[in-house]
Chain A
């Protein structure tokens, strides 16, 4: 840190950002169905031997057929890394990236995550997601830099309109401070 006086942190919120709070944004249905391969890859990544994901008979008996791990729900709202006709980086949780750009905060991390799970996600489902910006803080200084915290909720439904789950993300967008 230097001895140079620092500008006060900005506690105001741009009007166009404030107007987005509470609005439903980016309602999208996935371009692909929930597939067994995703389930196995996720379970393999954490060595999850739960037989409802590996044994069709157990899945029939307990969950009425194969399902996806609840924790994997957000994966079904993420776009392919590339698809025909797509340009630029394909991003999920677009509200998060919109805020980074609009507020001039090039870096970001997630700090808190709340997941609530309702109807099971089943193989063959097409998941629709929608995002709602819940809040944006004034500027705050942390060890990472100066930035703002925001909360974004995501709701997930299946093709029948059943609520599958909700997620609430707290993100911190920031710009790094120059070191002395």
Chain B
């Protein structure tokens, strides 16, 4: 999946819509690159021995900010560049390790226009491995209400994430 050529507008979205699935094979490089990209130097994200012997897990694992970056990429692949994420709430129930194939899916759970005229889409997003949930995410993403609307122009009180 790549970023959509034509930005999504609110009128194109309805509750129950599903997003195209995204899958990615996780390697040690995925984990380490993600940790260092987010300036996270903690050893459980790059040191196998530390992760296993100190943390009691099977391997190094994806860090929190990089999981956020994966969710962000997944959502804005769908919205296109005018999509603006306002809020994400995610719960990590089990770590993601090298050797896992991450699979991202999402369903639209709400569509609304707020009192400032900003269009919002609510989504439930899941990250699974072998069909088992690893992280769940509730997201609130602003998308244009029309072709000439741009959520990124919103400032101050007009932006209520």
Which A residues are closer than 8 A to B by beta carbons?
38, 41-52, 58, 62-64, 69-72, 74-76, 78, 81, 89-90, 92, 106-107, 109-120, 144-145, 169, 176
| Cβ-defined contact, A116 with B161, below 8 A | yes
| Cβ-defined contact, A45 with B56, below 8 A | no
**What is the minimal beta-carbon distance from B153 to any residue of chain A, in angstroms?**
8
**What is the minimal beta-carbon distance from A93 to any residue of chain B, in angstroms?**
10
- Starting from the known contacts A64-B152, A113-B64, 7 additional A-B residue pairs (CB-CB under 8 Å) come to A42-B69, A47-B73, A48-B72, A50-B77, A69-B72, A71-B72, A92-B40
| B68, B159, B161: the one within 8 Å of A113 (CB) | B68
Chain B interface: which size bin?
35 or more
Cβ–Cβ < 8 Å partners of A111 in chain B: 91-93
Which B residues are closer than 8 A to A by beta carbons?
2-3, 24, 30, 33-34, 36-41, 54-56, 64-73, 76-77, 81-82, 84-93, 95, 150, 152-153, 155, 159, 161
Measured CA separation A145–B73 after assembly (Å): 34
| A64, A81, A90, A107: the one within 8 Å of B54 (CB) | A107
- Using known A-B contacts A51-B81, A111-B91, determine if residue A42 contacts B56 with beta carbons closer than 8 Å: no
| Cβ-defined contact, A69 with B69, below 8 A | yes
- Using known A-B contacts A41-B37, A107-B55, A118-B159, determine if residue A112 contacts B89 with beta carbons closer than 8 Å: yes
Cβ–Cβ < 8 Å partners of A117 in chain B: 84-87, 161
| Cβ-defined contact, B81 with A52, below 8 A | yes
25 contacts between A and B (CB under 8 A): A41-B36, A42-B69, A43-B73, A46-B69, A48-B69, A48-B73, A50-B81, A62-B152, A63-B152, A71-B71, A72-B38, A75-B65, A92-B40, A111-B91, A111-B92, A111-B93, A113-B64, A113-B67, A113-B90, A114-B89, A115-B87, A116-B161, A119-B155, A120-B152, A176-B56
